[in-house]
């Protein structure tokens, strides 16, 4: 079966500004696929094009076997979208919003269980403007799932949620996928990617700069290892500098950082032991996705 | 997620579900919700239903409705009510409609609607219907109270008045959508809508009978669309017949504003 999304050489220009530059990727069925990148990198443009809300400048895109430019309405019947900067009418009540959005689809889900699932059952008579940020967010997600979509785009799913609500919505995203829905997650939250996503695309200045599983990205980006420890008086950088496989030793007060290739930790520990130095905080440090992101794009993810 | 599997097969596409029915899906629910939302907006309800009634009561109390020679033997209320009807149409279409639609765009409400299979025409239709319902309600309320309190003369050509109301409403609706398309935010749409509405309100004879105007003012304010609406309603009300110039001008406004607004309209 074809992929849920297939993108080849997709480019989008707004006048002279290139929002997406020759992006190619695919998303498998029932995958949770993450899209990360700094603000203005082109993430939202990408999902807007995939959802048929914007037209592309060039390249090919197939979503659920449809061309979003030509079959936008047929596509929207089968997908769900949680957008940024989209609101509901202030005085619309929660149950009315759900009833309204259900009416747009041929096969909507029953609304009461949906509200229960997203913890909105006791807010069903509240007006939209009376909801907290988190409640609004949950309502938007419920609306995105109202048509049993085969594919759902969630743009900054947990942006307005507190940590507890965030964890809860991760569980729900897993449930959504377990029911057979493909999930596209645009996010700034690295933890969300590490815990949820099967694969991630990193986008910067409209270009795809990395693509793979979270593990692959961590490995690929960091060819070198780092070892940290605090040194006592007897330590001298020359003890390590001369060893093969070590690329640098830097000292900042008592803090020592050694970089090198494989077996670094064993090598450092062994050398320190022969000098009878036994630092209690000797540790290797794995790059987090945050670090990798910074290295790939030159910008911190959260700015 | 219970029942999800079952649901997929339970709604076979009826052979009768024509393209038209599919296109209209969601429209009735959207209209229902927008009607409720209108009622929850105190300013909208006040200016559509209460404010014209207030003017009727104030001027009715001051001037009464006794036949007067300057009004060709009609009373003050008899010759003012057509203007109040025009006022209801103007308030709804030049202020209420553009402000609502511009706000819907500004706050991403249109953006969210667009992400569904709902047709753009359904959004436009819903707003036209809701505003038509409330302005009609405002008009009927006016006529009812004027009849009850001042024994106002009822239209000689009621069907003509109804048709003139419909034409005027559609023409002004088209202008309202044009304003909502041209001005990006609720604030600017309101400012421009007010700038078009309020001068016309006083210069057209909507707020005070044109019979009170000096001749030069009458001539100068003749081409205003709202003047044409008031004249059209007045003539039909008293059986003078159709003012085809007014019909032509209002139809022109409807067609031009309607055509331009479909081009300038933006969802975001």
User: CA of B108: how far to CAs of A69, A149, A188, B178, in Å?
Assistant: 21, 22, 21, 19
The whole domain housing A233 covers 223-285
| Same domain? A74 vs A52 | yes
Least Cα separation, residue A231 to chain B (angstroms): 57
| Same domain? A270 vs A163 | no
| Same domain? A215 vs A235 | no
Task: Please give the average per-residue pLDDT across A96-114, as a whole number.
Answer: 95
Give me the phi and psi of A94, to 5 degrees please: -55, -50
pLDDT (tens, 9 = 90+) of chain B, 268 residues, equals 333 333 333 344 444 445 566 778 899 999 999 999 999 999 999 999 999 999 999 999 999 999 998 888 899 999 999 999 999 999 999 999 999 999 999 999 999 999 999 988 999 999 999 999 999 999 999 999 999 999 999 999 999 999 999 999 999 999 999 999 999 899 999 999 999 999 999 999 888 888 889 999 999 999 999 999 999 999 999 999 999 999 999 999 999 999 999 999 888 8
Least Cα separation, residue A300 to chain B (angstroms): 29
| Same domain? A17 vs A152 | yes
Q: Is residue A293 part of a domain?
A: no
**Does the beta carbon of A53 lie under 8 angstroms from any beta carbon of chain B?**
yes
This model of the complex carries an ipTM of 0.86
For strands A5-14 and A58-63, give the pairing.
antiparallel
User: Are the Cβ atoms of B4 and A101 closer than 8 angstroms?
Assistant: no
| Same domain? A47 vs A183 | yes
Task: Kindly list the residues from chain A whose CB atom is less than 8 angstroms away from the CB atom of residue B112.
Answer: 83, 86-88, 143
Give me the phi and psi of A246, to 5 degrees please: -100, 125
Looking at residue A142, its pLDDT comes to 92
**Does the beta carbon of A126 lie under 8 angstroms from any beta carbon of chain B?**
no
CA distance linking residue A154 with residue A141, whole number of Å: 8
Task: Kindly list the residues from chain A whose CB atom is less than 8 angstroms away from the CB atom of residue B33.
Answer: 89, 92, 96, 99-100
**Does the beta carbon of B45 lie under 8 angstroms from any beta carbon of chain A?**
no
Q: Which residues pair with residue A187 across a beta bridge? A: A36
Nearest CA in chain A to B28: A103
Q: Is residue A160 part of a domain?
A: yes
Task: Kindly list the residues from chain A whose CB atom is less than 8 angstroms away from the CB atom of residue B7.
Answer: 107, 109, 148
Looking at residue A220, its pLDDT comes to 63
For B104, the token pair is 């819907």
Residue A163 has pLDDT above 90, yes or no: no
| Same domain? A68 vs A159 | yes
pLDDT tens string A184-212: 999 878 888 888 999 999 998 899 998 99
**Residue B168 near residue B160 (C-beta atoms within 8 A):** no
Task: Kindly list the residues from chain B whose CB atom is less than 8 angstroms away from the CB atom of residue A87.
Answer: 107-109, 112
Domain boundary among A219, A251, A270: A219
User: Are the Cβ atoms of B116 and A76 closer than 8 angstroms?
Assistant: yes
Closest residue to A88, CB basis, from B7, B112, B115: B112
Closest residue to A106, CB basis, from B11, B36, B109: B11
For B213, the token pair is 């105007």
| Same domain? A266 vs A162 | no
For B15, the token pair is 């052979």
**Does the beta carbon of B43 lie under 8 angstroms from any beta carbon of chain A?**
no
**Does the beta carbon of B7 lie under 8 angstroms from any beta carbon of chain A?**
yes
**Residue A73 near residue A58 (C-beta atoms within 8 A):** no
Q: Which of A14, A95, A103 to mutate to test the interface with B (most CBs of B within 10 A)?
A: A103
Q: What is the per-residue DSSP string for A147-172?
A: T--SEEEEETTTTT--HHHHHHHHHH
pTM above 0.90, yes or no: no
Closest residue to B111, CB basis, from A86, A91, A106: A86
| Same domain? A260 vs A148 | no
Residue A244 maps to which CATH number? 3.30.70.980
Least Cα separation, residue A130 to chain B (angstroms): 14
Task: Kindly list the residues from chain A whose CB atom is less than 8 angstroms away from the CB atom of residue B23.
Answer: none
**Residue B184 near residue B106 (C-beta atoms within 8 A):** yes
Give the three-state DSSP class for A125: coil
Q: Who's near A54: CB < 8 A, 6+ residues apart? A: A12, A45, A48
Domain boundary among A166, A187, A219: A219
User: Are the Cβ atoms of B26 and A81 closer than 8 angstroms?
Assistant: no
| Same domain? A95 vs A162 | yes
**Residue A55 near residue A42 (C-beta atoms within 8 A):** no
Residue A123 has pLDDT above 90, yes or no: yes
Residue pairs spanning A and B at CB distance below 8 A: 81
Q: Is residue A303 part of a domain?
A: no
Closest residue to B115, CB basis, from A83, A106, A109: A83
User: Are the Cβ atoms of B11 and A73 closer than 8 angstroms?
Assistant: no
Domain count, chain A: 2
Looking at residue B9, its pLDDT comes to 37
Least Cα separation, residue B30 to chain A (angstroms): 6
| Same domain? A15 vs A164 | yes
Q: Is residue A290 part of a domain?
A: no
| Same domain? A174 vs A275 | no
Task: Kindly list the residues from chain B whose CB atom is less than 8 angstroms away from the CB atom of residue A45.
Answer: none
Looking at residue A208, its pLDDT comes to 93
| Same domain? A65 vs A31 | yes
Least Cα separation, residue A83 to chain B (angstroms): 7
**∠ Cα B242 B243 B244 (to 5°):** 95
CA distance linking residue A267 with residue A259, whole number of Å: 11
Looking at residue A223, its pLDDT comes to 62
Residue A172 maps to which CATH number? 3.40.50.300
Nearest CA in chain A to B120: A73
CA distance linking residue A257 with residue A249, whole number of Å: 6
Selected residue with higher pLDDT from A244 and B138: B138
Q: What is the per-residue DSSP string for A199-261?
A: EEEEEETTEEEEEE-HHHHHHHH--SEEEEEE--TT--THHHHTSTTEEEEEEETTEEEEEES
């Amino acid at each position: 079966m074809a992929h849920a999304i297939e993108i080849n050489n997709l480019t989008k220009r707004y006048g002279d500004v290139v929002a997406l530059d020759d992006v190619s990727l695919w998303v498998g069925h029932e995958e949770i696929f993450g899209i990360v990148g700094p603000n203005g990198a082109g993430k939202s443009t990408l999902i807007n094009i995939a959802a048929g809300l914007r037209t592309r400048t060039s390249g090919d895109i197939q979503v659920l076997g449809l061309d979003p430019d030509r079959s936008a309405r047929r596509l929207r019947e089968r997908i769900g979208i949680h957008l940024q900067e989209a609101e509901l009418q202030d005085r619309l009540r929660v149950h009315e919003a759900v009833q309204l959005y259900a009416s747009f689809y041929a096969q909507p889900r029953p609304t009461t269980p949906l509200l229960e699932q997203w913890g909105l059952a006791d807010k069903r008579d509240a007006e939209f403007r009376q909801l907290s940020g988190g409640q609004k967010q949950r309502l938007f997600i419920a609306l995105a799932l109202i048509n049993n979509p085969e594919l759902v785009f969630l743009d900054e799913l947990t942006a307005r949620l507190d940590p507890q609500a965030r964890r809860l919505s991760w569980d729900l995203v897993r449930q959504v996928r377990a029911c057979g829905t493909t999930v596209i997650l645009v996010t700034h939250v690295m933890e969300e990617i590490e815990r949820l996503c099967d694969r991630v695309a990193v986008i910067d200045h409209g270009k795809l700069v990395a693509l793979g599983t979270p593990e692959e990205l961590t490995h690929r980006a960091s060819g070198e290892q780092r070892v940290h420890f605090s040194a006592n008086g007897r330590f001298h950088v020359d003890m390590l500098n001369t060893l093969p496989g070590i690329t640098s030793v830097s000292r900042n007060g008592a803090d020592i950082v050694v970089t090198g290739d494989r077996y670094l930790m064993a090598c450092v520990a062994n050398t320190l032991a022969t000098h009878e130095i036994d630092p209690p905080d000797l540790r290797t440090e794995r790059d987090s996705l945050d670090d990798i992101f910074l290295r790939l794009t030159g910008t911190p993810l959260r700015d | 997620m219970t029942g999800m599997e079952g649901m997929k097969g339970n709604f076979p596409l009826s052979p009768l579900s024509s393209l038209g029915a599919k296109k209209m899906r969601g429209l009735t629910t959207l209209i229902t919700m927008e009607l409720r939302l209108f009622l929850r907006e105190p300013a909208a309800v006040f200016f559509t239903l209460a404010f014209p009634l207030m003017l009727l009561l104030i001027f009715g109390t001051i001037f009464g409705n006794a036949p007067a020679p300057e009004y060709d033997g009609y009373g003050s209320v008899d010759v003012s009510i057509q203007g109040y009807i025009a006022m209801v149409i103007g308030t709804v279409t030049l202020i209420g409609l553009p402000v609502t639609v511009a706000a819907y765009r500004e706050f991403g409400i249109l953006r969210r609607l667009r992400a569904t299979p709902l047709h753009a025409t359904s959004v436009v239709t819903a707003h036209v219907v809701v505003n038509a319902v409330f302005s009609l309600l405002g008009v009927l309320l006016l006529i009812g109270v004027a009849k009850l309190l001042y024994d106002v003369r009822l239209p000689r050509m009621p069907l003509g008045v109804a048709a003139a109301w419909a034409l005027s409403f559609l023409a002004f609706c088209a202008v309202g959508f044009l304003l909502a398309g041209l001005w990006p935010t609720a604030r600017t749409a309101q400012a421009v809508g007010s700038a078009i509405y309020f001068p016309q309100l006083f210069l057209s004879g909507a707020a005070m009978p044109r019979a009170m105007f000096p001749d030069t003012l009458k001539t100068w304010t003749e081409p205003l669309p709202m003047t044409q609406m008031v004249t059209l309603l007045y003539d039909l009300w008293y059986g003078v017949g159709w003012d085809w110039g007014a019909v032509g001008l209002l139809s022109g406004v409807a067609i031009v504003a309607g055509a331009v607004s479909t081009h300038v309209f933006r969802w975001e």
